[in-house]
Structure 1
Amino acid sequence: MAKRIIIAGGGTGGHIFPAIAIANALKKADNTVEILFVGAKGKMEMEKVPQAGYKIEGLDIAGFNRSSLIKNISLPAKLVKSFLQVRRIFKKFVPNAVIGVGGYSSFPVLRFAQAKGIPSFVHESNSFAGKSNMLLGKKATKVFVASDNMQQFFPQEKIMITGNPVRPDIVNVATVAKEEALRFFNLQPGKKTVLIVGGSLGARSINEAIENGLIELTNAGLQLIWQTGKTGAQRWEDAAAKKENVWVSDFIKEMQYAYAAADIVVSRAGAMAIAELCVVRKPVLFVPYPFAAEDHQTVNAQNLVKKDAALMVKDSEAKEKVVSTIIALANDETKQTKLKENISALAVTDADKKIADEILKTIN
């Protein structure tokens, strides 16, 4: 009888795309496996997962709102409702295993699986574990992590270091011709191309720095692929309107083309962004999001800076320093080469396969 696996979580691309990579690896290892995603209604997984060819069920759930306590009044009711929805999903789908990748919907799904004695797996992409993952990790069958020294968050005997799963199209970026990628964005061959990407929701400090420095960047002979994120998207699109050599959008679906076209990347320092950037071998300027839990994005970026594998500008200094740092790097071929060599040494390309093999081994 075919094995059935639920993959739960989402909220951001940093959770969704690794989840899809794991699903693809499971199907590749055993094409009889049936996979069902469970996400949070209204979140981007409800759109991205079907686009990848998988079914998804949505839960009525939300996370704790730290900025407005009044908005948390309905949380207990939503949590109860989500557990009832999970029970109904399990009764219908009858999973042999469940994996949580982070995000609101991971918690009720894995908690329910653990209460029923169904094998449960946690994937923690960051160097600082989230609170719900720490709780779930205590009873999980296995906890997949990206880096070492995670025993402060999870039981040592449950930890398996796999790295972070990277989408196959990103792993295969080298097969995309640069000329083809530049054509995709209507940009010119022979010009240095800078990819600016602040995550699916956007990065205000990066976007403001680019908005203020558009003329300076294009005068320096650079062309831009500017992924603004959803927040304030219209403002950034208006700023770039009618400017030659600037492609702008709130989201890039075909990231393999963006990476293939880019000579330099400006990015937040989330775990998944770093995993991809190591694989695509690009000189990177990180602007870490300063309000991430335990300021883990700064820790992530500093780990690479110490290895001369990336540059970093603090979020608070983005307006003053991002544009000048981009231009200086664009003019320094030796530095670009050094950063490329050092970041590529940190690449992991088979995390999805390791995770899939371990799950299948457990349930077979």
Structure 2
Amino acid sequence: MRLIVSGGGTGGHIYPALAIIEDLLKQEPDSEVLYVGSKRGLESSIVPKQGIDFIPLEIQGFKRSLSMDNFKTIKLFIKSVKESKNIIKNFKPDVVIGTGGYVSGAVVYAASKMHVPTVIHEQNSVVGLTNKFLSHFVDKIAIGFNEAADQFPKEKVVFTGNPRAQQVANMQSDFKWSTIGLSDDIPTVLIFGGSQGAPVINKAVVDSINDFNSRNYQVVFVTGQKRYDGVMEQIGDQTVNSNIKILPYIDNMPSILPKVSLIVGRSGATSIAEITALGIPSILIPSPYVTADHQTKNTMSLVNNDAALMIKEDELTGTTLVEKVDSLMNNDAQRNQMAKNSLELGVPDAADRVINVFRSLK
């Protein structure tokens, strides 16, 4: 198979794309894959490191307020569509798939106008602007949450789950907590506000240190690389007992997740795919600053199935955080049931499902 993949801007668009590519190459090693991304997005550094052919386009998103920059955005989109048509003409793909982000808008739109089979994958429960636009042109739409179905033309929609879930579920982990100075025999909570860290989560944890010091479970607190020094300054001369480990970043997160008893963090689509793939109980703190409050809607898909608890950001304090964590870490039966419910929501063959969608179009 010859496949063009486009998706970028954030890891939430990139990692599902990489999971699809990885699974396709396992199934069909002779396949040829080209990734078309943006020059400024994370994909420009992440994708080439995976040994995948990569072509960058210069493109940007619309400003939500009136701005002269939007004229430049339109000009760059038109230019990117033209460049994409040349790329498609030269590569001759069997299928083009977009996983979100502005760059996929130009690439997938160009492919549809050239009558090349097209698929988009929507990771979130609330549809992004690019995929909403592309839904009128593509042949099939794969979705990660059933809640997204009624936001698209129903005859095009196929529920697949998030391909990242399959990638994580298939990973083998030999990680031990002892490698970072903790015990391998004590239940462990991971608190993680995303790769950049989340200041409101970090502050709540700092305010909780004295309480966590006395607990019979372990806490791994990941601050975010850029926020570590600031967090350590806030902690100051507070005692941090040996059951707590504070880290700036974890670069092998998928290998650590299977060892976690409870995860506390944001509820982006990729995070939820990883959590449900492994059946991890969670306390989710959705960011209220994302488009259409989609993280809250993502969260509710787990909360409504008794697979997670939610703390709204404006209700998050050191006290509420400790209360929620204690309620689960001191109740093995509830935590185990939540783990089971979480696993039932996962789609361990999501990448296979997406691949089957675009195979049906060849």
| RMSD, matched Cα | 2.5
Q: Which residue of 1 aligns with 2:212?
A: 217
The match for 1:317 is 315
TM-score norm. by structure 2 comes to 0.89
Equivalent residues in 2 for 1:96-107, closer than 5 Å: 96-107=94-105
CA positional deviation for 1:237: 5.8
* 1:1-364 correspondence to structure 2 within 5 Å: 3-66=1-64, 69=67, 72=70, 74-148=72-146, 150-166=148-164, 168-172=166-170, 175-177=172-174, 180-229=175-224, 232-236=227-231, 243=240, 244=242, 245-250=244-249, 252-320=250-318, 321-363=320-362
Q: What TM-score comes out, normalization by structure 1 length?
A: 0.89
Cα distance in structure 1, aligned partners of 2:64 and 2:78: 20
Q: Distance in 2 between matches of 1:65 and 1:184?
A: 45
| CA apart distance, 1:312 | 0.7
Asked whether the equivalents of residues 187 and 261 of structure 2 are also in contact (C-alpha less than 8 Å), the reply is: yes
In structure 2, relative to structure 1, the CA distance for the partners of 1:46 and 1:181 (3 Å cut) is farther
Greater mean deviation of Cα atoms: 209-218 or 66-75: 66-75
For residue 74 of structure 1, give the secondary structure of its aligned residue in structure 2. Answer: helix
Q: Distance in 1 between matches of 2:70 and 2:209?
A: 41
Percentage of pairs with the same residue: 32
Provide structure 1 residue ranges, at least 5 long, that are not aligned to the other structure: none
> 1:127 offset after TM fit, Å?
1.6
- Equivalent position SS for 1:6: strand
Secondary structure of the structure 2 residue equivalent to 1:246 = strand
Over 3 Å counting, the alpha-carbon distance change for 1:135 and 1:77 in structure 2 is closer
Separation in 1 of the partners of 2:70 and 2:191? 34
Using the alignment, how far apart are the partners of 1:204 and 1:29 within structure 2? Answer: 42
Residue identity matched to 2:190: L
Shift of 1:206: 1.5
Tell me the SS of whatever aligns to 2:361.
Answer: helix
CA distance in 1, matches of 2:359, 2:233: 49
Amino acid at match of 2:56: G
In 2, distance between residues paired with 1:104 and 1:204?
27
Task: Measure how far apart 1:168 and its partner are.
Answer: 4.7
Instruction: Please say if residues 8 and 37 of structure 2, whose CA atoms lie closer than 8 Å, have aligned partners that are also in contact.
Output: yes
Q: CA contact under 8 A between 1:184 and 1:257: conserved in structure 2? A: no
Determine the C-alpha separation between the residues in 2 that align with 1:189 and 1:169.
25
**Does the C-alpha gap of structure 1 residues 235 and 38 become closer, same or farther in structure 2, counting only changes over 3 Å?**
farther
Q: Contact 2:165–2:347 at 8 Å: present in 1 too?
A: no
> SS of the residue aligned with 2:93?
coil
> How far has the Cα of 1:301 moved from its partner?
1.5
Distance, in Å, in 2 between the alignment partners of 1:235 and 1:221 is: 27
Check the 8 A contact 2:9/2:40 in 1, yes or no: no
2-structure distance, mates of 1:255, 1:25: 20
